[in-house]
A and B are shown apart, each in its own frame.
Chain A
Amino acid sequence: DTGTLAHDLPGYLREQGREKSDCSLRPFPVSFAQLGWDHWIIAPHRYNPRYCKGACPRLLRYDYHAPNHAVVQSLVHQLVDANVPRPSCVPYRYSPISVLMIERDGGILYKEYENMIAESCTCR
């Protein structure tokens, strides 16, 4: 029903900024002790993997990097069958983390692990 969509659009575009409940990146600092890894990781002391949370809007904005399928699923939820869920708010881009570890033999290891910190979110 393109008429419904067209009716929605002006109101949507008038929105100032994002809704607080919209899909977005949230901080969540943890310690390696909380994860049970402090017996072998000695640096960093803090780790903020962050997470994505929030509702994906009915009309997905460009900055959500959502693939075409997510747009279609959003329309299906809205216009065809609400049993089909809206796209999920999930991480899109990640950055690595460097850790310093103690090894059993007394050696010390510096290592970078990819995809350990969420940098942005998407609706998928």
Chain B
Amino acid sequence: NQSLPSPGPLPAALPLPLLQALQVRAPGSWGWQARPASGQPLRYMLNLYRRAADSEGRPRRGRSLGTNTVRLVRASSHGGQPWAGRWYVQPLTYHLEGQPEVEHLLRATVVYLPNMPLARGRLLCALELAATGEAPRALLSPATRPHHGWAEADVTPYLVLGNGSVGSLALRHVCVRAGRVGGRDAPVAPSHPFLLLYLNDTQAGLAPPAAEPHRHRR
């Protein structure tokens, strides 16, 4: 049960996907500590993980993900006071530059909580696609009925540009406090919606071997 000593730097050329990932995620520093993950995004991804794999990490047969990589991207907000009376408006940007080239985008969704209970009343939220030079502002509608309170809106068409590359996505998170007028609820900052990229990593490992050819008993 003794912990292994930290290995030295990894060699430059690594043939194995997992070791490549180790090199990319912790370049030159095996002592790197990830920021402690918490909150709604982690809860959502743990749920997704439990649906896709068993307790020892084996992917479940008939799993519904349909891909070998799902990347959660957090939003960066632009600061400022998002609350104005009952209204909450927060511009958000998802930066997608620097994604690995071997990961090919299959689809993208934004996940958010459309309905959050408050001590008095509720907070009702929606997502708007920010206006750009080419497209006007548009309300995103959930692609599926909310699951465990979460709603997913498909944003794939807004991410795939003409040349197949992706840059960034700008949204507005809009909420309104519903309930008794004049309620004394302290303004609650709703959890930022997050972006889920469903990707096919062509280097996550060799394809499963073809069916074993029939072999005669020797």
Contact = CB atoms under 8 A, between A and B. Distances in A.
Whether chains A and B associate is yes
Interface of A: 33-37, 39-40, 42-48, 62, 65, 71, 93, 95-117
A84 to B, nearest CB: 20
Query: On chain B, which size bracket covers the interface?
Result: 35 or more
Given A106-B37, A109-B70, A110-B69, A97 B58 contact: yes
Given A33-B3, A37-B22, A40-B26, A111 B37 contact: no
A39 B4 contact: no
Interface string B1-18: 111101100000000011
Given A34-B4, A47-B56, A98-B53, A110 B48 contact: yes
B209 to A, nearest CB: 8
B204 interface: yes
Contacts, number: 127
Contacts of A108: 37, 41-42, 45, 71-72
B74 interface: yes
A67 B146 CA distance: 53
Given A47-B56, A103-B34, A113-B204, 19 more contacts: A34-B1, A34-B3, A34-B4, A36-B30, A37-B22, A39-B32, A43-B53, A44-B53, A47-B57, A93-B209, A96-B59, A96-B205, A98-B57, A106-B35, A108-B41, A109-B71, A110-B70, A111-B201, A112-B205
Interface of B, helix, strand, loop or mixed by DSSP? loop
Contacts of B45: 100, 108, 110
Interface of B: 1-4, 6-7, 17-18, 21-22, 25-26, 30-35, 37, 41-42, 45-46, 48-49, 52-53, 55-59, 65, 68-74, 201, 204-209, 212, 215, 217-218
Nearest to A66: B218
B57 A111 contact: no
B92 to A, nearest CB: 14
Interface of A, helix, strand, loop or mixed by DSSP? strand
Given A34-B4, A43-B46, A112 B37 contact: no
